[in-house]
Structures are given as structure tokens and as C-alpha cells.
Amino acid sequence: MEEMSELIAKNSLFAGLPDSTIQLAVGCAQNVTFEPGARILVEGEPADTLYLLRRGRVALQVQRPSGKPLIIETIGPNSVLGWSWLVPPYRWQFDGVAIDPVGAIAIDGTCLRAKADADAVFGYELLRRISGVLLSRLQSTRVRLLDLYGHSLDD
Amino acid sequence: MTETEHVSPGPFVPSRYRVVDRKTENSDITTLWLEPVDRPIAPFKAGQFNMLTAFGVGEVAISISSAPGAPGAIEHTVRDVGAVSHALASSQIGDVVGLRGPFGTDWGLESLTGCNVVVVVGGIGLAPLRGAMRYLAENPAPDRKVVLRVGARLPDQIVFPEEMERWREMGVDVEVTVDVADAAWTGHVGVVTQILTELPFDGAGAVALVCGPEIMMRFSARSLIDLGVSPENIRVSLERNMQCGIALCGHCQLGPFLLCRDGPVVPYAPLAAELITEIER
Ligand SMILES: Cc1cc2nc3c(=O)[nH]c(=O)nc-3n(C[C@H](O)[C@H](O)[C@H](O)COP(=O)(O)OP(=O)(O)OC[C@H]3O[C@@H](n4cnc5c(N)ncnc54)[C@H](O)[C@@H]3O)c2cc1C
Ligand code: FES
């Protein structure tokens, strides 16, 4: 069986970090699994966990007044799920629902924040990496606003 | 034999083709199966287009969406966006339409031996690539992996879903993404570049065939280059309003290209990349 530190080091958010840094995250981490349909994040509920997805996909969705949720993004293996634990008010903004059987490492957000506060080098590196992921998500969202699949000519 | 039978009808006279079958792909896209009434057009290559006439309405460029050399009727997939495409998409079995062609460059299937292939399509962009995809799926080669990445706005705007499933069963690595979906959709949600972050092979040496709106092709080309695909090995299909189809009228000019002759399929680098970036700047 793989060690927790190896599993964490495999995720793109932590890849390439020295073992001493990975160990800081190991102290806050546990393995979790979810059945398809499980609500991993619940909109409005306290956000306290960073999930490093190992297998399966999660749909980020919003509830519509009609009752049918709208999926706005899917997150797949080796990606990171859940950012709302980073900044106040620490509440999930969307629902996160397992599409397949999901295996993930759940890292306690409060624990991780405390370690980042106590060790500025670790905190900076973590934030730098998180910013990279957030930037690429923001760029994808912007690209999506362009209606990529509309007309091919300038209308 | 009368004198008129010796006279070539000329490049502007369409052949008459009868609609022998039709399929509504989704709310605004229809595929037509056409068979010649009298004079068939010359054999075509995957990626080429025909000028289709809806008699009394007009003539438009439509890619051939069946595979070259396949037996039976020739297929065209039409999106209803205006007068002519509406008339074509509404034609019924038994109706006669006009056909001139085939015109333009093709995807160069014969050069795709011994290299991996990435096909990236957006919206109705799979229509001009369907013939190539059928060929690649039906003629597997041990030294060639084929990856298909498809993006659409909504699940009901995905064209040819059953056929994609068949290609998947035939060994093609197919992934589809939509911009937004309801819970009935279990596939990927996000833009097409989000399913272009890795390939099951080394991008260097692979050939990419890309078709869709120009913004989509630009972003996809950038993702492919990030994956190691050489810009010279990316082929894109560029569309401009066509009239003559035979490099006479200049309607389809894009920079130095007359796209009815030099396109629609052109290499992304160096020229197409600059041209489509300039246009959208
Ligand atoms: C090489 C080539 C291959 C094509 N293949 C296909 C195909 O397989 N299936 C298909 O449905 N369409 C295809 N098109 C696009 C098709 O030719 C146009 O949609 C058609 O000319 C529109 O004519 P219309 O009279 O129906 O609409 P118009 O009234 O002329 O136009 C209606 C709307 O369509 C837009 N439009 C016009 N011409 C084009 C164009 N060339 N490309 C995109 N949008 C256009 C206009 O800007 C306008 O918004 C292809 C075009 C080219 C140049
Ligand atoms: S359509 Fe006339 S020159 Fe190309």
C-alpha cells in the first residue's frame, strides 16, 4: 500500500515539494471514498476540507429554482477540489457531487491553514501553487464565456 | 448523338442529386443522404466540400460528412443558419438538390500512417471530420493511436453521439465535454481545452486535425502546442463565404489564401495561426 506522503506527492498541487513539506500536509490528511451521487460539498455549509482527487469525477453544480441542478464543471483524477476553506467566510459556494466512485485524500483545511500560518515558507509555496490552479480555472471560465462553439465567421 | 451531348456543362452547372434519406441530428442540424440523378460528381477526399444548391433559393458550401470511397449515398450535414441552409436542411426524401464539387484541400489521410492522431472538434466541426474519423476508426494501424476530443455548448448540441460510441468501441480514445449540463449528463463539463491537458502518447510527432469556430481552433492549437504537438503538424479547417468554389471570384480570400482552392484544410503554422489571430484581435 502506498504511503500517504507518496499519494500526496503524486497530486499536481504538491508534486516536486521536499518530503519535509509534504509531511506537513500528511499530518492533516486522511483517505476518503464516496459512492456515486454522494454530496461531497454542500452549498452554504462550512468549508473545511481540501480534496486531492485520486480516482473518479466530481460534478460542481448549482441548484436552480426549477429544482434541477446545473453542472458547471467536472473535476477529474489528480485535480484539486474545494477552495472555500482558504478564505472567510469558509462556506462552500457550490455543491460537489460524486459522478463515479470517488477516492480522494481529504486534507483538513483548518489544520493546513494553521501550518501555513506557522511556516511562512510552506504557506507561501502552498499559496503560489494554489494560485496557479485557480488562475487556470479562471482562464477556462473566461474562455467559456467566449461561446467557443458559436459561429465560425464574425457575425 | 446530338451536338449538345458533347458540350461540357461547365463548372457552374450543378449535378442533380436526390435526397434518399435524412436524419435530424438535433434542433438545427440535419444530415442528408444524396444520390446522383444523372451526372455524379468526381470522387472526393475527406475534408473537401461541395457547393449545394437549394433550387430557387441559393447555393452554399457544405463539407462532405461521409467517408471517401464508402459505398452508397454521399452525406452532408447542414446547420440551419439562414435562407439556403434552411432550405437544404428542410429538404425531404425524394427532393432534388444541386451539387458542384468536390472542392478544396483535404485532411491528408494518406500521410497519417505511423503517427498518432489527435482530432479536436467544436460544435458542428465534427461534420467535416466525420469522413476522416470513420476512415481512421475503420482502418486501425498498430503504430497509430487516435484520440478524439469534442466540445459542445450543451449535451443536446453534440452531433453523432452514437457514432462516437462506435468509434470508442473500435479503439478510439473519445472524450466529450460540454459548457454546461444538467444532472442527467455524466460526461465532462468544461471547455474543450480542459480535456486537452494530456495525451495518451507523446505529442511530438503526432498530427492534429482541428475543426470548429476559429476562436476554438486557436485555443485548441495552443493547448496542443503545450502538449508538444508541432505547430506544423496541426491542420485546421478555415471557412469563408464561398461563391464560385473554383478560385475565380475572390470571395473566399483570407490573406494570401483563396480558401476554396488553398483550403479549407491548411496547416496551422505559420500562416493560419497569424491570420486567425489577426482577425480576432
Ligand atoms: C468550406 C466550407 C465548409 C462548410 N461546411 C459546412 C457544413 O458541413 N455544414 C454546415 O452547416 N455549414 C457548413 N459551412 C457553412 C455554410 O456554408 C454556411 O452556413 C452557409 O453558407 C450559410 O448560408 P445561408 O444562406 O444558410 O445563411 P446566410 O443568410 O448566408 O447566413 C446566416 C448566418 O450564417 C453565417 N454564415 C454565412 N456563411 C458562413 C460560413 N461560411 N461559415 C459559417 N457561418 C456562415 C452568417 O454570418 C450569418 O450569421 C461551410 C462553409 C465553408 C466555407
Ligand atoms: S469562392 Fe470564388 S475564389 Fe474562392
Domain boundaries, chain A: 4-149
Q: Is residue B2 one of the residues assigned to a domain? A: no
**CA dist., res. B109 & res. B146, Å (int):** 13
Mean pLDDT of A42-62: 94
Is B241 part of any domain? yes
Alpha carbon separation from B198 to A75, B23, B58, B265, B279 (Å, rounded): 15, 35, 44, 25, 29
Query: In which domain, by residue range, is B270 found?
Result: 109-275
Residues B79 and B202 in one domain: no
Interface check A71 vs B, CB under 8 A: yes
- Could you report the per-residue pLDDT of A88-103, keeping only the tens digit for each? 999 998 999 999 999 9
The Cα B265–Cα A145 span in angstroms is: 27
Q: Encode chain B (281 residues) as per-residue pLDDT tens digits.
A: 454 455 667 888 999 999 999 999 988 999 999 999 988 999 999 999 999 999 999 999 999 999 998 888 999 999 999 999 999 999 999 999 999 989 999 999 999 988 999 999 998 899 999 999 999 999 999 889 999 999 999 999 999 999 999 999 999 999 999 998 988 888 999 999 999 988 999 999 999 999 999 889 999 999 999 999 999 999 999 988 899 999 999 999 988 889 999 999 999 987 777 777 665 44
Tell me the C-alpha distance between B192 and B213, whole Å: 12
Nearest Cα residue to B159 out of B194, B123, B114: B123
Q: Do B183 and A148 touch (CB under 8 A)?
A: no
As a whole number, mean pLDDT of residues A12-40 equals: 92
Ligand at minimal distance from the CA of B252 is 2
Query: Are residues B62 and B114 part of one domain?
Result: no
Q: What distance lies between CA B134 and its chain's CA centroid?
A: 12
User: Do residues B81 and B114 both lie within one domain?
Assistant: no
| Residue A151 pLDDT exceeds 70 | no
In the sheet that holds B146-152, the strands lie side by side as B188-189, B173-178, B146-152, B117-122, B207-211, B234-237, B265-267
Are B35 and B166 contained in the same domain? no
Query: For residue B258, with 0-12 CB atoms within 10 Å meaning exposed, 13-18 middle and 19 or more buried, which class applies?
Result: buried
Residues B271 and B144 in one domain: yes
* A153 within ligand 1 shell (Cβ under 6 A): yes
B29-36 and B49-54 beta bridge pairing: unpaired
pLDDT of residue B175: 95
B59 within a domain of the structure (yes/no): yes
Cell of B170: 473500435
What pLDDT score does A155 carry?
Answer: 37
What is the number of domains present in chain B? 2
Percent of chain A with pLDDT over 70: 96
Q: Is B133 helix (H, G, I), strand (E, B) or coil?
A: helix
Are B141 and B79 contained in the same domain? Answer: no
Domain A4-149 belongs in CATH node 2.120.10.60: no
User: Which-ligand-closest: CA of B63?
Assistant: 1
Kindly provide the b/e burial profile for residues A16-53, where b requires at least 16 CB atoms within 10 angstroms of the residue's own CB. Answer: ebeeebbebbbebbeeeebeeeeebbebeeebbbbbbb
pLDDT for position A64: 82
Which residues sit with their C-beta closer than 6 Å to ligand 2? B 242-245, 247-252, 258, 260
Is residue B116 included in any domain, yes or no?
yes
The answer on B62 and B118 residing in a single domain is: no
Question: Residue B4 domain-assigned?
Answer: no
Which of B81, B103, B125 marks a domain boundary? B103
Which ligand 1 atom is nearest residue B87's CA? 26
The confidence score (pLDDT) of residue B109 equals: 93
- B69 near A CB under 8 A: no
Same domain, B63 and B164: no
Is residue B138 located within the same domain as residue B249?
A: yes
A103 vs B: CB within 8 A: no
Q: What average pLDDT does range A119-136 have in this prediction? A: 90
Residue B99's CATH number: 2.40.30.10
**pLDDT computed for residue B281 by the predictor:** 45
What is the predicted pLDDT for the residue at A154? 38
Atom 21 of ligand 1, residue of closest alpha carbon? B60
**Is B193 inside a domain boundary?**
yes
Nearest CA to ligand 1 atom 17: B61
